[in-house]
A = this chain, B = another copy of it.
Amino acid sequence: MVVTIIGLGLIGGSLAKDLKSNGFATSLLGVEKSDSHAQEALDLGLVGEIVDMRDGCRMADVVVLATPVNALGKLFPMVLDYLRPGGVAIDMGSTKSEISQIIHDHPNRRRAVLAHPMAGTEFSGPSAAINNLFQHKAAIICDREDSDADAFLLAERLFKSLFMRVTYMDSRAHDVHAAYVSHVSHISSFVLALTVLEKEQSEANIFDLASGGFASTVRLAKSSPRMWADIYQQNAHNLIDVLDEYLSKMQQFRDLIQASDYDQVYQLMEEANKIKKILK
């Protein structure tokens, strides 16, 4: 199967590695706006050839859009314009409601599949691409009823070839859930880093004390500001709701400590411990 990947960063590049090694793609084409990333992707052997977008769409059985989410509004309709008959286009964006609306009335909408593989690291660019990034993670396919059956089944096959669990969901529900389990994790990590970095300017050796707990909580603060600013913009409405809940719980924690009510503090933490049952 000929696969064209648009955007050869962490997600697109890692996808290229796995789809080649597992045989899903017999031929891999890349479309990449940045010349330096294009060269890097060729040097790393992520794709066999860099092509322009029109050729990439016309030559492919499957086109994967793996660009930052704010680029999708322009790119996805173009890809659907260029797609060859029977071709399928799948996006990998972290937010889904806005792109769902943008392509909703496109004549080729039924050849499009909206997807979100829930995988990543704090690194970005072609050199961040790694094998098995997607293994045992969840892939969400949104608004399945708007795609042809052969199209979403092809997407499902692609994700299963990466050993992912495939879940179907409405695009609006997806964005609410993603705000909870992904977007706010990133913001809390960025905020923690900011708080500590500011203190560090006045105190020399604060990081001598940084332990494994701090490192894991702050890891996501190394993530790409460009990518995350775009995601927040796309999901602002849900995100503000979740941030308000987060802020109110954090304020409650703070006020209970201020009031020396450690029984309540204990109970809040015992409640939070229930996360053990859900995440191993």
Contact = CB atoms under 8 A, between A and B. Distances in A.
Nearest to A119: B211
Contacts of A274: 193, 197
A204 to B, nearest CB: 10
A115 to B, nearest CB: 12
A230 B199 CA distance: 24
A225 B270 contact: yes
A206 B187 contact: no
Contacts of A211: 118-120, 137-138, 181-182
A188 B192 contact: yes
A250 B240 CA distance: 11
A189 B177 contact: no
Interface residues of A, number: 93
A242 B229 CA distance: 25
Interface in A251-280: 251, 253-254, 257-258, 260, 262, 265-276, 278-279
15 contacts: A177-B205, A181-B211, A184-B195, A185-B218, A189-B217, A193-B272, A194-B268, A197-B271, A197-B278, A199-B242, A207-B278, A216-B217, A233-B262, A243-B250, A247-B254
